Structure 1
Amino acid sequence: MYEIDTAVIGAGAVGLACARALAMTGREVVVLERAGAIGTETSSRNSEVIHAGIYYPAGSLKARACVEGRHLLYAYLEAHGLPYRQCGKFIVATDEAQADALPGIAARARENGVEGIEEIDAARARQAEPQLSCLAALHSPVTGILDAHAYMLSLQGEFEDHGGAIAFHAEVESVEAGAAGGVVHVGGDAPMRLRAREVVNAAGLQAPALARRIEGLDPAFVPEAHFAKGNYFALSGRAPFSRLVYPAPEQAGLGVHLTLDMGGQARFGPDVEWIEPGADGTLDYSVDPARGDLFYDAIRRYWPALPEGILVPAYAGIRPKIQKPGEPARDFVVSGPGEHGVAGLVNLFGIESPGLTASLSLAEKVISVLDGES
């Protein structure tokens, strides 16, 4: 049986950030990833936005980790020469009710420590973005975009430079938790057992299911998993905006927004489509072209000149929700020994957006939990 300091389960952005940070403390760390590459699920199927920290309840882990993580992420990208652009974002109100809600959103953002948030009228918004139609807007100058895969490759490289290793096609079947750490049973291409003093469950969509396979962990500390698909459509023509454009927030998501990639191409989404796993446990990532009709209606509220027939299905991502449809959004959960009583075990649940932005901050949180500091 192999013996190591720490096993990190999951090689998405958060798992890689945790593994890198742990390896940099001098721990011997192995990442176990059931897929054949890094970041194949949530981390590679999102908007690649560096979020400001606007929407989340004051004092929540989401708010703190997003704002702190944004600072850490910009500094990391700059220091490592990775592609990003601090392009800014407009949150637009297209009816009176949304306009009335903007001051509250701005107040929450300021309470969360978001810098530079500004309320602007329709004339100023249109001066900046001539194709935009709205009654009022919020401007977030610190919002940006990045190349998520380049970021994850950099995390992987630093992790490996500090002695870490990633085992691909290594699905964790179960964990036997005990006072001296856990015995991790790994299936896949090369079945093995690892004895790890610490186990970090950063399995994203599968984190709750994995946690239920940890012997010695009370199931009361494992939330129920729910899945919300977000479909994206790409714009086949040139992007008409230089900034990101978001409608006012809606239940379970941030509406059908316009984002830009590092090449300047526009994409729209995600919407919110609650789904259930198939009989074999798989999740459906296909994009139904018929949903495009709903996209046209939503986008034309803030871009009335959107031509017909210009949107094409792009891709879908799935949010790892820990609340049911219609329930209030839940905070990130970083559950450690101080909560569940299992030595050396940290579970991360519900790490949806802004998980990419918050990844470096969440990694620091995981280390502090393992070290008994929080």
Structure 2
Amino acid sequence: METVDCVVVGAGVVGLACARALAREGREVLVLEAESAIGTVTSARNSEVIHAGLYYPPGSRKARLCVQGRDLLYAYCAERHVDHRRCGKLVVASGPEEVPALQALQARARANGVDDLQWLDSAAVQALEPALAVHAALLSPSTGIVDSHGLMQALWADAEAAGAILVLRTPLVAAQADAEGLVLQTGGRDPMRLRTQLLINAAGLQACQVAAQVLGPDSPHVPRPHYAKGAYFSLSSRAPFSHLIYPAPSDSGHLGVHLTLDLGGQARFGPSFRWVDEIDYSVSPEEAAGFEDAIRHYWPGLPAGSLQAAYAGVRPRISGPDAPAADFRIDGPAQHGQAGLINLLGIESPGLTAALAIAAEVATLAASAPGLSPT
């Protein structure tokens, strides 16, 4: 049976960032990915937004790692020439009744250390984005967009240069602890049996299932997975906007149907939000009417029939419909009692923005916690 110092399960943006951080510290790193390429699941099905850190509860891990990760990500993209743009975002109040939601958002952002928001009245918004028809807005200059695939390719190139190895089409099918570490069994065309001293569970949508393989399905440290599906529509023509446009957040915490731009200037709208029991990436064209209604609250000039079904993503949530969105969980032995295991659970948005900060926290935990430091 082969022995590997560290195994990372999942080659999405967070798993790749962790592999990079650990390999650069001199660890022997093997990355297991069930799909045929890196970053084809959650990391490829999102808005590609670099979030500023406005929305998350003050003191939460999401808030802290988003703000830290945002700064790390901008610096990394500049250093590694990953395409990105600090385009800014407008969070808009369509009418005066939505102004309190913007005021609450501004207060939350300040508590999170985001101190660059600018309040704009209707005239200032019109001067910035003439196609918008809104009452007021908050401008977030530090929000941006990134080429998520380029980012993941750069992260993997760094990890590989530091000695990491990637094995595709290789799902983890079983794991158990013994006196000498963790024993892993993989599937795929070339099944492997491995022993490792450190297992990083960055499996995204399958992270709870991977945690259950090690800790047992009845472990109180394995949350029940929940799936929240979001569909996206693209605009058939070029959008008359240079900023991202978000509606005022609702009482439910859903950010609404917002307008984001890719690096070529093409607009896409979404995501919608729907709880689902199974992972499904289909998008029904019938959803377009609901999207149009939502968009016209801030862009009344949206041309009729101009939306095209684009893609859908599924968030790996660990809280259900009747609970507030759970915080990121980075669970090491101090939480679950199993030496050599770090579970990354509920890593949904802003996971892409926070990826480098999450990886730094994982590397620190791996170096300091009993049973995780290199031998």
TM-score bin (small chain): over 0.9
Contact 1:88 1:143 in 2 (8 A): yes
Matches within 5 A, 1:140-155: 140-155=140-155
1:199 aligns with 199
| CA deviation vs aligned residue, 1:82-101 (integer Å, no higher than 9, x gap) | 10000000001113332112
Structure 1 residue 373: deviation in Å?
Answer: 5.8
Matches within 5 A, 1:1-374: 1-215=1-215, 219-250=219-250, 251=252, 253-277=254-278, 283-372=279-368
Cα root mean square deviation, aligned: 1.3
Task: Please give the secondary structure, in 2, of the residue aligned with 1:334.
Answer: strand
- Aligned partners of 1:362, 1:42: CA distance in 2, in Å? 16
| CA deviation vs aligned residue, 1:201-258 (integer Å, no higher than 9, x gap) | 0000010011111156861001110111110000000111100000112335311000
- Aligned partners of 2:350, 2:13: CA distance in 1, in Å? 11
Identical pairs, percent: 53
- Aligned partners of 1:64, 1:306: CA distance in 2, in Å? 36
- Aligned partners of 1:323, 1:297: CA distance in 2, in Å? 29
Structure 1 residue 343: deviation in Å?
Answer: 0.6
- Aligned partners of 2:282, 2:20: CA distance in 1, in Å? 32
Question: Counterpart amino acid of 1:246?
Answer: Y
Contact 1:320 1:351 in 2 (8 A): yes
- Aligned partners of 1:178, 1:218: CA distance in 2, in Å? 19
Task: Please give the secondary structure, in 2, of the residue aligned with 1:325.
Answer: coil
- Aligned partners of 2:169, 2:214: CA distance in 1, in Å? 20
Unaligned runs of 5+ in 2: 371-375
Question: Counterpart amino acid of 1:325?
Answer: P
**Which deviates the most, 317-326 or 39-48?**
317-326
- Aligned partners of 1:42, 1:126: CA distance in 2, in Å? 35
Question: Counterpart amino acid of 1:99?
Answer: V
- Aligned partners of 1:313, 1:217: CA distance in 2, in Å? 38
Unaligned runs of 5+ in 1: 278-282
Task: Please give the secondary structure, in 2, of the residue aligned with 1:249.
Answer: coil
Contact 1:203 1:210 in 2 (8 A): yes
Cα distance change on mapping 1:252 and 1:196 into 2, 3 Å: farther
Contact 2:175 2:185 in 1 (8 A): yes
Contact 1:218 1:340 in 2 (8 A): no
- Aligned partners of 1:181, 1:16: CA distance in 2, in Å? 23
| CA deviation vs aligned residue, 1:101-129 (integer Å, no higher than 9, x gap) | 21111011111111311121111111100
- Aligned partners of 1:179, 1:128: CA distance in 2, in Å? 63
TM (normalized to structure 2)? 0.96
Task: Please give the secondary structure, in 2, of the residue aligned with 1:68.
Answer: helix
- Aligned partners of 2:215, 2:331: CA distance in 1, in Å? 16
TM (normalized to structure 1)? 0.96
